Amino acid sequence: MAQAHSSSTSPIRIGIVGYGNLGRGVEAAIAKNPDLQVVGIYTRRDPAQLQPLHAGTPVHRMDALAQHQDRVDVLILCGGSKDDLPVQSPQLAAQFSLVDSFDTHARIPEHFAAVDAAAQGGQTTALISAGWDPGMFSLNRLMGEALLPDGVTYTFWGKGLSQGHSDAIRRVPGVAGGVQYTIPVDEAVEQVRSGTRPDLTTRQKHRRECHVVLAEGADADAVRRSIVEMPHYFDQYDTTVHFISAEELARDHTAMPHGGFVIRSGSTSDGVSQVVEYRLQLDSNPEFTASVLVAYARAVHRMRVARQYGCKTVFDVAPGLLSPRSAQELRADLL
């Protein structure tokens, strides 16, 4: 595998499939990686209507992809996990090496099987579920468990904007707009860090904060009740609802910060506690996710060149493959 590290002279050619927040993040991330190059954005929209970040980036119709197999080394799929990726990833993996950010945890085995069949057939390398959770958090769950088998892993999310929960409050009658922040409970994080390995309920780990714009004439109390009692989404949490104006929503709540912690607390012998913590503080969730996808696209290209075909996850990628630097440089400078 060490051989695959040597940097090639021509850049790795990336195609971006889908151009929402994540696709724009990928375009921005590639600009920070001189060994990678965007050769095209592929969209279901009218290409003429799409404004890429960099004016020179070619924009194509999605169906042009079938003819672009020779132009692209790796596709980065930027669609959603609900409707886009379950169809696109297996379909495109038959022809292209690719990276996706499929994040429906429960359906990962099924998605893996579909993508693996296509990638084995097409002799491509397709990495699924990259990003930060699944992705970097998954890696840290795995490493924590492997290094400290006698221990407990805790994942905390936030402070961050949750897309799913924001969508849920926007569906409540009387709500004109709103966002939801997931916030780890400080006391719980401190308890876990101290090495005590507490049992924590859902309510003890996270709280939820909603900023809601009322529709005209809506009953604030009724809206608040509908939110905090909503099954699954809110009823198991301490939830606070703040009513704000449409102006405040637009001014203060358009960023997409997120992050969180993976903490493994274990012991290596009687009374000897060891705590490993991985923490993300992200100003922009989609831009960080995009940066992860881009680094894994580099690894995927190298794995395909090394004929390591099939579906992969972050668990299968040697970390050195993520860096543009040679194995020798990495050992000398970073080890």
188-207 residues in contact with a copy of itself (CB under 8 A) are 193, 195
Stretch that binds a copy of itself, among 91-99, 183-191, 197-205, 281-289 (CB under 8 A): 281-289
Binding a copy of itself (rule: CB under 8 A), the pick from 29, 74, 161, 188 is 29
Stretch that binds a copy of itself, among 7-15, 40-48, 82-90, 103-111 (CB under 8 A): 103-111
* Contact call for residue 229 and a copy of itself (CB under 8 A): no
Nearer residue to a copy of itself within complex by CB, 233 or 288: 288
* Contact call for residue 284 and a copy of itself (CB under 8 A): yes
Tell me: cis bond preceding 159? Omega within 30 of 0 counts.
yes
Residues 49-68 interacting with a copy of itself (rule: CB under 8 A): none
Least Cβ distance, residue 251 to a copy of itself (angstroms):
16
Binding a copy of itself (rule: CB under 8 A), the pick from 15, 18, 23, 25 is 25
CA atoms within 13 A on the CB side of 14: 32
* Contact call for residue 37 and a copy of itself (CB under 8 A): no
313 is annotated as contributing to ligand binding: no
* Contact call for residue 287 and a copy of itself (CB under 8 A): yes
Residues 131-190 interacting with a copy of itself (rule: CB under 8 A): 134, 136, 138-139, 141-143, 145-150
Least Cβ distance, residue 266 to a copy of itself (angstroms):
8
* Contact call for residue 307 and a copy of itself (CB under 8 A): no
197 is annotated as contributing to ligand binding: no
* Contact call for residue 94 and a copy of itself (CB under 8 A): no
* Contact call for residue 275 and a copy of itself (CB under 8 A): yes
d(CA 92, CA 111): 13
Known binding-site residues for substrate equal 157, 182, 208, 258, 285
Known binding-site residues equal 19-22, 43-45, 78-81, 101-103, 130-134, 157, 182, 208, 258, 285
